[in-house]
Each structure stands twice: as C-alpha cells, then as structure tokens.
Chains A and B, each alone.
Chain A
Amino acid sequence: MSSLVAEAVQAEIGAYEPWPDNACLYQPYQVEQITFPDYATCLSVKTFLHMCSLDFHTELRINAEEMSPSGKVPFIHVGAFLVAELDPIIAFVNTRGFHLSRELNESERSEMRAYMALIENILVNAELYLAWVDETVSEEITKPRYGYVHPWPLNRLLPWQKQRSMKARLKSISWSNKTIDEVCEEVKTCCQALSEKLDNKQYFFGTRPTELDALVFGHLYTILTTRLPVSRFAVIVEGFSNLAAFCKRVEENFYKKFGREY
C-alpha cells in the first residue's frame, strides 16, 4: 500500500479511539528559541485545542522543528499519530468527532474558510517578512534566537540558511520586494476586514468560538505582545479597538481563567 493510502486508512481506523490522556504538543523553547511567527502558529493550535476542551500537555524541544513530520511546528502526538500545522490538526480533531463549527451553515463555513485563508496569505506572510526580511528585526531578534540553542558554527549557519529559505518563499509570492510600508498596508487591510467581520460580537460567528477565532487570536495576540524594535504591526492592531478587546476576551476565557500557560 502506498504510504498516503496507509495514512488515510490509519486515520479512519483511529477515528474510533477516544482522545487519550497523554496527548502532547511539541514546540521549540518558548523563552529563548522560538521565533514569533512560529509562536503565533503554536498559540493558534493551542487555543484551538483549548476551545475544543481537549487536554494535552506541551513538550518543549530544541529539535521540535526537525522532529515534525512536515518540518513545521507545532505538531501533536496523539496515540500513534503525528499531525503538524493547524489545518491538518483541525481535520484530525474533526475525525475524532470534535467540531467547533458544527452549528455554522454551509455558507458561513465557507466564509470562515475564506477568512482563514486571508490570514494565511496576509498575516502569516507579514510576520515572516518582519522576522526574516526586515534588517533590524532579523539581525537583532530572529537570527540570534533561532541559533541560540546550537553550538558554533551552527549558531551562525542555521539562521542564515533559514533566512535564505524564508526569503525564497516570500520571493515566490512576490512579497520580498515589498517595502515595510507596503507590508503594513496589507496588515491594515487584513485587520480592517477582520474588524468589520467581528463588529460587536463576542466571537466571529456569534457567541461560540470557531477555528477562525483560534487562528485570529494566535496571530493578533503575538503581534500585540511581542516586543520588537519595529512595532508598527502592534500599533496597527491596537488601532482597531474591537480586535484588541477580542484578544483580551479570549485570553481571559481560555487562559487566565484556567491558569494555563501560553
């Protein structure tokens, strides 16, 4: 059997197993190592799992990125399964019978997918731009953090290699040539769309959180709270008061109330 088919069969069979007690999420070290784009995705996944009321504990590993089956963090280890990145994790959790967007109708669900794609295309790339392409931030913050856990000469080589691959990735979608002003404009447009969608509601689709809420919280909270030499993104997000309030609400309801770490 080809490995893709084998995985699909495995996932189907595993769908009948209950969520185990020892589910684990792996990510790089929070204080010294993780870069803020990775922190945003890890926070999105953690928030999503909390919103589903699924228990897990967090394992911090230096080599989390290399351990991951897809090369990206975070990844979860549930029973015999390894799933990496938010979208596959959402799909995996759905096969186990946990749905956050169960009450949405078809059009709302496709709307949600569209907003999630918007964040993927704009916010994620903007964060990568700020972390790896912007001179100040990459030299002062991102590269030292990325290489901190490795011995010489890897503490210079690996961040440089990573920067090259990130720049190539951004170049392929024509982001690497943008100026920081243009990137800020993109972020502003994205936040505007999100702010309009959120309006005065508690969560994006009413009173119950969905996957979109987890994703938005992960990224906006990171932008608001990461201290960087270039803080223009934070200023933009703070300009939308309902988004800032949204972040506080999610933080209160899913983290502070339970004393969870984030």
Chain B
Amino acid sequence: KVQRVIIDGLGRTKDDLIIQQVQPIFQADNFEEMVMLSQEVKIKLQRLQLFKHIEIYIDTSKGSKSSVPNGYEVKFNVKETRRFTGETKVTIGSNNPELLFGLKMPNVFGRGERVQVNYGQGVNHVRDFGLNFMKPMYANPDVLFGCGIHQYNGEYPWSGYRELDRALNFNITFPSILGIHTLKWEGVWRDLRSLSRVTSFAVREQSGHSVKSSLKHDFVRDTRDNKVLPTVGSWIRVSQEYAGLGGNVEFAKQDIEFQFNQSLLYDTVLQFSGAFGIMRSLNLKNEIRINDRFFLGGPLTLRGFNIKGVGPHSDGDALGADAYWLLAAHLYTPLPFRPGKGGFGDHFRTHFFANAGNLSNISLNNHIRENVMKLGEMFRWAYGCGIVLNFMSMFRFELNYVVPVRLQRGDSANPGLQFGIGVEFL
C-alpha cells in the first residue's frame, strides 16, 4: 500500500497540477504496480516539460504515522527547469536553411505553459521573428492550446516577389484514435512586392496588401519509425483551410499528403508517396492570389525540376495554380559494398525513384470529369537515382541524378544532378 508520495524540489510549479498527476500511484495494490505507475507519472511529468531532472526513490514508510504495516513511501526528487533557456539551431524548410536563435521560458506560470521567442535568419533574405505561447490543457501534454504572433520576411525568387507576413494565430492540438488534430485560426497581413524590375507583369499585378483570416484543420497520423529514412510505417496528413472570416481573401483549400513504407529483404525499403491538393476561390469576382496558390517542383518533391518549376509560368516566374497531384515510388538500398557499416555508412542510402505530377488551374465552368481528365493528361514525370543522407534524424540531404522524361511547355526542368535538403519530402 502506498502511504505517502513526496515531491521534493517544487518551486514555481503549482501544487494542484502535481497532486492531479500523482493520484494514480495511490491506486497501486502491490509493489510491481506501484513501480510501474510511478514510472508512468515520471514520463508524464517529463512530457509536460516541467522539470530538468526527476528521480524516484521508494522506501518503506517510517514513523509513528504509519498505520499500515506494509506501507511504502514514494519520493520524487525533482529539479525544476531554469526560468530562461536559450537555444541556437538550424531548421530547414523546403530547401531554405534558417539559423534560429530562441529564448525559451518553460513552465512559466507553474502549469507547464511554455513561452518561446524566436529570431531566425535564412537564405533568400529570410527574417523570421516569432513569439509563441503554449499550454497543456487539463495537465495533459497531448492537448495543447497555443497562440502566437509572427513576422516573416522572405524572398521568393522562383516567382519574382518578396513578401512580408505579419500573423497572429490561435491553435488547439488534440489527439484522437486515428491521429493528431490541430485546429488553428490565423490572421495574416501580407505585403507582396515585386523583387526587381524584370519581375513578370502577371506577378507584379499581385503586388500589394491582403489580409487573410482563416480557419485551418490539420490531421496527422505518423506510424513511421524514423522521420527521415523510415523503414516501416506510414504517414498521412490531411488539411483543410477555409479563408474568409474577414479580410479580403476568400478560398477553400484541401490538401492531402501520404507516404507508405515497406521493408523488403536485405535492408531495402520500398516507399510509395503522394500528394493531392485542390482549392477554389469563394469570391466569384476575385481569383486566388499568388501567395495562396499551390506550387510544385523541387529536389524533394517532384525531382527533376527546379524549385516550383512545374506549372504555369510567366517570363520565368512561377505563377502557381489551383490543383496539383504528385506520386512517387522509391526503392532505398544500403550503399553498395556497405562502406562504414555499423557507423557512419548507416546514415546513407542509395535510392532509385520515379516521380510524376501535375499542377494546373481548374476551370469552374467545366465539368468535373473534364477537369480530372485535364489534370491527368498533361502530367510530367522523371526518374533517377541518388544518395540520401540522414542527418541526425533531423534533416535529409539528397544528391540525385535525374532524367526528366516528360515536361510541359513553360516548365523549368533540372536534368542531371540535383541537390536537395529539407525536412519534408515525398
């Protein structure tokens, strides 16, 4: 029987939170269960990121207060995190490495709330500044409420514009049987300007200010064993966005991405992945702006093409479109002759792949079948092989030799060697 649970080392963490967490331990009937439950509590406390250090001591209860002969005492020795911690890291988003400086305040008000201030600088003159607040709800580290403000300034040379975004967002993340859901409201003020005098007129016409107020729902289910070089498992992300509650941007967008991995003999892995997206403007007078459209092409998505090199272009500037699809098949094998086996060489793989896709505007006047046929007919595809490096399970480097087989007029292809770096890939 558990007599007492002592938590030593609390400072700013609130008592009611701790009491709620350790309640289950009192239900233990025997020693084994008590140890197991204590471990579970320790893991939960770790996930709430309240403490730097948690140690469990179990002892028989002593003293006159022990009414039960076999009473136990469970003692948690905890060390709270410091009020401020800093971090410097490199993140990579779609071929854009960014150096981030962050100041974190974990467990700010005592119930696991986190405040984070970030400043980042990256390629393409990216300047990124953000302030985020996150709170686990009901002491459950899986249910998170967050809000934040964010300013992002970056150049988009493939389309010939630069954009300054100022955003405010509120979001809730919660799990369900199938996966993790995120519901987000975001209000963004976007200021788009042409990058240079030679920006195509079609992009120049999009210059100016727009305000997007949108509701977004993301669903993610990830059963892979490794995010960068998975050998087994699948990943699927479905997201919907509805913009139009205020602001002057109105559209509905649907986006699905998936990946299946299957391990075969001799450490080879077969991977199928794909993506599909469609959007339509909800305001008959306005068509969708270039900031919101889909783009396709790049060393990690549709290989064989330059970044955003697929689809409608004007004077070399990618314009994006309303709908796209992408399918890819990869075969990963260990490096030939397995150099550096058991160590460095294990981070590399060779891969053979074929990928196909299409990006085009759908016309609302045409029948659905005509649109589907159009998307299916004029597709592009490429195949190739290359080497993939799994960098600390965080990023993926790819160096491929690609042969684009089928292009459409206006595409910007990249035959031959192509190098890509990123986190998300298909």
Contacts and interface: CB of A to CB of B under 8 A. Distances in A.
A7 interface: yes
A233 B248 CA distance: 37
B15 interface: no
A150 B248 contact: yes
Given A3-B197, A69-B194, A69-B197, A63 B246 contact: no
A157 B246 CA distance: 16
B205 A67 contact: yes
A151 B208 contact: no
B209 A150 contact: yes
Given A67-B204, A151-B248, A152-B246, A158 B197 contact: no
B201 interface: yes
A82 interface: yes
Contacts, number: 42
A68 to B, nearest CB: 9
Nearest to B211: A151
A69 to B, nearest CB: 6
B208 A3 contact: no
A77 interface: yes
A60 interface: no
Interface string A177-216: 0000000000000000000000000000000000000000
Interface string A1-15: 001000100000000
A154 B208 contact: no
Contact of A67 (B197, B208, B211, B246): B208
Contact of A154 (B192, B197, B209): B209
B244 to A, nearest CB: 11
Interface in B228-270: 246-248
A7 B197 contact: yes
Contacts of B193: 66
A154 B189 contact: yes
B13 interface: no
A69 B207 CA distance: 11
A221 B211 CA distance: 36
Interface in A59-84: 61-63, 66-67, 69, 77, 82
Most chain A CB within 10 A, of B191, B201, B207, is at B207
A158 B209 contact: yes
A69 B211 CA distance: 23
Contacts of B248: 150-151
Interface residues of A, number: 17
Contact of A63 (B189, B198, B207, B211): B207
B196 interface: yes
A153 B210 CA distance: 11
A154 B212 CA distance: 11
Nearest to B248: A151
Contacts of B207: 63, 66-67
B208 A62 contact: yes
Nearest to A155: B211
Contact of A82 (B191, B197, B247): B197
Contacts of B247: 151
Given A63-B207, A77-B201, A154-B211, A3 B196 contact: yes
Interface string A21-52: 00000000000000000000000000000000
Nearest to A4: B197
A16 to B, nearest CB: 21
Scoring A3, A66, A157 by chain B CB atoms within 10 A of each residue's CB, the highest score goes to: A66
Most chain-B Cβ atoms within 10 A of its Cβ — which of A62, A151, A152? A151
Contact of A151 (B191, B194, B198, B246): B246
Nearest to B204: A67
Contacts of B189: 153-154, 157
A150 B209 CA distance: 8
21 contacts: A3-B197, A3-B198, A7-B197, A62-B208, A63-B205, A63-B207, A63-B208, A66-B191, A66-B207, A67-B204, A82-B197, A82-B204, A150-B209, A150-B211, A151-B247, A151-B248, A153-B189, A154-B189, A154-B209, A154-B211, A157-B189
Given A150-B211, A152-B211, 6 more contacts: A63-B207, A150-B248, A151-B211, A153-B211, A154-B209, A158-B209
Considering the complex of A and B, which 7 residue pairs feature the smallest CB-CB distances, nearest first? A63-B208, A66-B208, A66-B207, A151-B248, A67-B207, A151-B211, A151-B247
